[in-house]
Amino acid sequence: MGRAALRIRLLGGAVLAATAVAGVLTLGAGTATRPLYKDASQPVPKRVADLLARMTLAEKVWQMTQVDKGFLSADADITKYRLGSLLSGGGSVPVPNEPAAWVAMTDAYQRAALKTRLGIPLIYGIDAVHGHNNVIGATIFPHNIGLGVTRDAALVRKIGRATAEEVAGTGIRWTFAPCVCVARNIRWGRTYESFSDEPKVASALGAAYVAGFQGPKLGGSPTSILATAKHYVADGGTDKGVNTGDASLSDKQVRSIYLPPFTAAVKQGVGSVMTSFSSIQGEKMHASTHWVTDVLKGELGFKGFVISDWAGVAQIDGDGSLYSFEDVDKGIDAGIDMVMVPQAYQLFQAVLTNEIQKGHIKRSRIDDAVRRILTVKFQLGLFEHPFADRAATKTIGSKAHRALARQAVRESLVLLKNAGHVLPLKKGQRIFVAGKNADDVGAQSGGWTITWQGSTGPITPGTSILQGLKQVAGKGARIDYSLDGRGAKGHDVAIAVLGEGPYAESNGDRPDDYGLNLDAADDVVISNLRKAHIPIVVVLVSGRPLVVTRELPSLKALVAAWLPGTEGAGVADVLFGRVKPTGKLARVWPRSAAQAALAPGEPGALFPYGFGLSYR
């Protein structure tokens, strides 16, 4: 449905909503001078109970509503409706996209929320999935696929902490991360958001990320941010690796492969969990009382709140992004506490209100949802510290954070082949660099960088791999470059930085076998380099293992660099032997596209799970 048509239907919803709100407001009771919920010395459950008892149905419904800031018809709607939450989806950024503008924007939204009758602060969410990646100038860390290789929980915890500081520095206290998915088919476009195809790695590193984001205690410091374990559950287990698809898995398979990272995150105290767009045995996760209420909240004892995915509730009845009664009944009944609407907010609240008033959704379910949301808001300290932490703003893209990212890059590389010890590079060598990903900060950062899909080019300050090589080699070193590999003659060694361009979510799905191969441009680079008769080292920048079986014999060395982020010098550190490679594959590397879903431990991989060479 086009946007114009949607608008007309929304306006109807808006009129309805405004009337309801006005009625409630005139009935609203006066409040005491210092209500208990505003007293920080009171225990959180008491504050929640006190506040909940003061709230009207409309206020509760809006507390459960999350809107993308880009879809606000007017900023005044925050006050008018008493919105509970805003988000920035991928690329939903202020103009100009710089820290000061983020601070001004989130503070202004917060002021609008605090003007309401009860003054409940907003909670603002964003996808800080590899650093504060929507913000130009933020530190971009390796995507999870690279972090999995490190097996370094202490490192991941530090990355979580650094990211939390940068996020809090823009007035945001909630990240939709970590993705604790176990990607079991590399055709899936979100494979790079997965630490590993082994649940134990996803569990350990996911929990470490949660500990880093939230700190020892949720709200224990002004830079403690709420983490989100996503996407619950079995997003990485869909048939043929189709994004948002159906997973024909048994209960036992879900429990043994896909559930453990959520169990670990809950144990770590994760404050929110996001449901998956995908289904299990035909049942949408957004409508699954079994998985959301019985298993997550019941069995695992999850005490935080469940956030839907982007219009995930609207998709329940299978007709796309409009909210129907069926969608809202099923989603809220299943146990979703806050709905990432993210656009049709008046319509959503009108439908939800109607369903409650008709008795189709129990008021106790609404109270439970709001109680969970308010609990987290109190725990985070939002009532006491609603505005951006200026001290943290200075940490955005700081030297210390970039040094940490560079360390993560070094640890995330996997040396897959090193014939004749061509690596490390030697002093005095004439080095030729080639390939589309050699000098491109956008490409090496991948999707979810500045925009939702990411893009090639100098999209944010950082060090490309080529720049990193030049830096580490130092003055006087001879490093030449061409995009297509021509001009390599006369050099001692060639480094071809090849692989994938940026993508996110379904755009990254590769249903066709050729989509897992090197592309035509990369083939040209290799064939041009071969004409120079010098050793060829390939560095792969990609969000998944690619099928390189055919090319491998003509290469002296192969390094998997995944999606390293802004600190390309970390790649150079390893290539020059400043540090030895320590990374071990955290997923199997297939020999052919037929092995796209090869499980760890199954025979026949080109490189098995756990493989990784080092230097002498």
**Catalytic residue from among 152, 193, 246, 309:** 309
Annotated catalytic residue 309: yes
Contact segment (CB under 6 A) with ligand BGC among 16-24, 90-98, 213-221, 532-540 equals 90-98
| Residue whose CB is nearest to ligand BGC in the complex, by number | 89
Q: Measured from the CB of residue 286, what is the shortest distance to ligand BGC in angstroms? A: 12
Q: Which of residues 162-201 bind ligand BGC (CB under 6 A)?
A: 176
Give min distance, CB of 200 to ligand BGC, in A.
23
Site of tokens 């990211």: 163
Q: Is 130 in the site for ligand BGC (CB under 6 A)?
A: no
The SS3 of residue 106 is: helix
d(CA 498, CA 521): 9
Among residues 301, 346, 351, 345, which one has the least CA distance to residue 331? Answer: 351
Residue 490, classified by CB atoms within 10 Å of its CB into exposed (0-12), middle (13-18) or buried (19+), is exposed
| Of 332, 350, 353, 354, the residue nearest 10 (C-alpha) | 350
Residue closer to ligand BGC (CB basis): 452 or 589: 452
The 252-291 site mask, x for binding ligand BGC (CB under 6 A), equals: ----------------------------------------
Q: Which residue, 277 or 589, is less far from ligand BGC as judged by CB? A: 277
Which of residues 127 and 440 has its CB atom nearest to ligand BGC in the complex? 127
Closest separation between CB of residue 311 and ligand BGC, Å? 7
| C-beta atoms surrounding 181 within 10 Å | 29
| Contact positions with ligand BGC (CB under 6 A) in 423-482 | 452
Helix, strand, coil in percent for the chain, rounding step 5? 40, 15, 45
- Residue pair 113/150 in contact by the 8 Å Cβ criterion: no
Catalytic annotation, pick one of 317, 439, 505, 509 = 505
User: Quick one: 91 or 515, whose CB is closer to ligand BGC?
Assistant: 91
Closer Cβ to ligand BGC, 309 or 355, answer by number: 309
Among 13, 84, 90, 142, binds ligand BGC (CB under 6 A): 90
Q: 337 by DSSP, 3-state: which?
A: coil
CA 284 → CA 1, 263, 289, distances in Å? Answer: 22, 20, 10
**Lookup: tokens for 182:** 């176990």
**How many chain residues bind ligand BGC (CB under 6 A)?**
11
Own/partner long-range contacts of 197-202 (Cβ < 8 Å, ≥24 apart): 197/586, 197/587, 197/588, 197/599, 197/600, 197/609, 198/586, 198/587, 198/600, 198/609, 199/256, 199/257, 199/258, 199/260, 199/261, 200/260, 201/148, 201/151, 201/586, 202/148, 202/260, 202/261
Active site residue 127: no
Rg (the chain; Cα; Å):
25
Contacts with 29 (C-beta within 8 Å, 6 or more apart), sequence order: 54
Q: Which of these ranges, 88-96, 165-173, 432-440, 471-479, lies near ligand BGC under the rule CB under 6 A?
A: 88-96
Report d(CA 152, CA 129) in Å as an integer: 17
Q: Binding pattern to ligand BGC, positions 100-129, x when CB under 6 A?
A: ---------------------------x--
Binding mask 298-337 for ligand BGC (x = CB under 6 A): -----------xx---------------------------
**CB 369 → ligand BGC: shortest distance, Å?**
19
Residue 276 or 582: the one with the smaller Cβ distance to ligand BGC is: 276
Site for ligand BGC in 528-567 (CB under 6 A): none
Yes or no: say if 438 and 497 are a contact pair by the CB < 8 Å rule: yes
363: number of Cβ within 10 Å? 12
* Residue with smaller CB distance to ligand BGC, 89 or 499: 89
Residues that bind ligand BGC (CB under 6 A): 89-92, 127, 176, 230, 309-310, 452, 505
Positions annotated as catalytic residues are: 309, 505
